[in-house]
Amino acid sequence: MKIAYLVNQYPKVSHSFIRREIASLEACGVTVVRFSLRSCAAELVDEADKLEQEKTRFVLEIGIVGLLLSLLRVFLTRPVRFLRVLWLTLKIGWGSDRGVVNHLAYLAEACVLLGWFSEVDITQVHAHFGTNSTTVAMLCHLLGGPPYSFTVHGPEEFDKCQTLALEEKIKWAAFVVAISSYGKSQLYRWCDHQQWSKIHVIRCGVDKMFLTEDYTPIPEQPRLVCVGRLSEQKGHLLLIEAAGQLAAEGLQFKLVFVGDGPLRSQIEAQMARLGLQDHIEITGWASGNEVQEQILAARAMVQPSFAEGLPVVIMESLALGRPVISTYVAGIPELVDPGTCGWLVPAGSVEALTAAMRAVLLSPVEVLEQMGKVGAERVVRQHDVAVEASKLAVLFRSEINQSLPGQFVVNAPLPGANSASIPLTRNS
């Protein structure tokens, strides 16, 4: 069994959970070959990511000539199948927010991967995120390539189910993975009931670096940490407002933002406006070890997101014995139990966020340590990457054992045309 992992950008600073999943699958005896549509090598800071970069093959590195030659080769060798998949590509492209041109590019990428997968004898493709990587995996499969599965994280897939053609992707997939029960429920909303049985919950996880780490006592210093990409949906601007209120009360504290992103200039401007330069620090992108050090140096981790799937950094913080402040969003309440291992506040409420941060800063260390202990136990039970990856390995083996030659049917008429289902046999 040889599984191809396909991601739009891999490795990436924020995708350490994929790297951990791959490593755990390999420990289960699964051979994994890494593919990515594009590279973001310039952003990498973690040595483990840099090693993954060397193991990954990037589709767009072949250039536009290579893409066009791959398209031509597939058209000449399997014209009937190619034209029918082209119709599906156009249908999806017209209904998307990315447009037809981008989807024709995805078709070209699928043609490239069709050849690459054949070269290395790929058994099944697994994509992360139900966006363009899964589109490419689906088109490659319908061109005659290996079956595919994919993991949906959210929130983007749930926000754009129709423009991403999520129902179509679920229909053709061997199986689909949601990272939380909430995510599973959202997939149920967007596919036929007959497809529900192929949707499974397999949670993202943390590895032994977090699960077996010697306990580090919570510091007395009034320090909080927020880890993640600096973007609107993470709630950073409201977090700064809350910090401003705490500073106005005369509380002494340090809030550290670990990460970078498009919102950084706005965050820095708001910090200056509120006079918070002595209270807030932005580290920029950090390696896994540096993130761990920042979490351990804090009394709690704050993640006031408006939209999420289930942030891995919450698992990491709880695993390290640090309680979490977050929001009642998506899968977060499945892990963070308010009053037991952290605080949950309504998303968008500065007042509730301020109160939770104040509680952390004023709580005795003994109280925080008990909450962190409970959180660590929850992570061990629910988010051990070795356990979760073994479930995924079972799914791969089960689907591969059941795979039999058959017939594909693409219900992909051109817009405005009257047509029935279009059969695609494996010999088309």
Pair (284, 391) in one structural domain: no
Pair (371, 390) in one structural domain: no
DSSP secondary structure of 387-414: HHHHHHHHHHHHHHHH----EEEE--PP
Pair (291, 173) in one structural domain: no
The amino acid at residue 413 is: P
Residue 109: the pLDDT is 98
Neighbours of 64 (CB within 10 A): 10
Residue 294: the pLDDT is 97
How far apart CA 104 and CA 14 sit, in angstroms, is: 28
Residue 74: the pLDDT is 97
Tens digit of pLDDT at every position of the chain (428 positions): 899 999 999 998 778 899 999 999 999 999 999 999 999 888 887 888 999 999 999 999 999 999 999 999 999 999 999 999 999 999 999 999 999 999 999 999 999 999 999 999 999 999 999 999 999 999 999 999 999 999 999 999 999 999 999 999 999 999 999 999 999 999 999 999 999 999 999 999 998 888 887 899 999 999 999 999 999 999 999 999 999 999 999 999 999 999 999 999 999 999 999 999 999 999 998 888 899 999 999 999 999 999 999 999 999 999 999 999 999 999 999 999 999 999 999 999 999 999 999 999 999 999 999 999 999 999 999 999 999 999 999 999 998 887 644 444 444 333 344 433 444 443 34
Pair (194, 320) in one structural domain: no
Pair (342, 199) in one structural domain: no
Pair (355, 406) in one structural domain: no
- Which segments of 285-405 are extended strands (E)? 300-303, 324-327, 342-345
Neighbours of 303 (CB within 10 A): 24
Residue 188: the pLDDT is 96
Pair (168, 107) in one structural domain: yes
- Are the C-beta atoms of 312 and 16 separated by less than 8 Å? yes
Pair (401, 346) in one structural domain: no
- Are the C-beta atoms of 236 and 257 separated by less than 8 Å? yes
Residue 173: the pLDDT is 97
Neighbours of 211 (CB within 10 A): 18
Residue 43: the pLDDT is 81
- Domain, as residue range, for 77: 2-205+384-425
**CATH number of residue 45's parent domain:** 3.40.50.2000
Residue 46: the pLDDT is 81
- Are the C-beta atoms of 175 and 199 separated by less than 8 Å? yes
Residue 402: the pLDDT is 79
Pair (19, 163) in one structural domain: yes
Residue 403: the pLDDT is 66
Residue 18: the pLDDT is 96
How many domains is the chain built from?
2
Residue 179: the pLDDT is 97
Question: By three-state DSSP, how is residue 170 classified?
Answer: helix
DSSP secondary structure of 52-101: HHHHEEEGGGGHHHHHHHHHHHHHHHSHHHHHHHHHHHHHHHHTSSSHHH
pTM as predicted:
0.89
Pair (186, 67) in one structural domain: yes
Pair (56, 198) in one structural domain: yes
Pair (195, 262) in one structural domain: no
How far apart CA 251 and CA 243 sit, in angstroms, is: 10
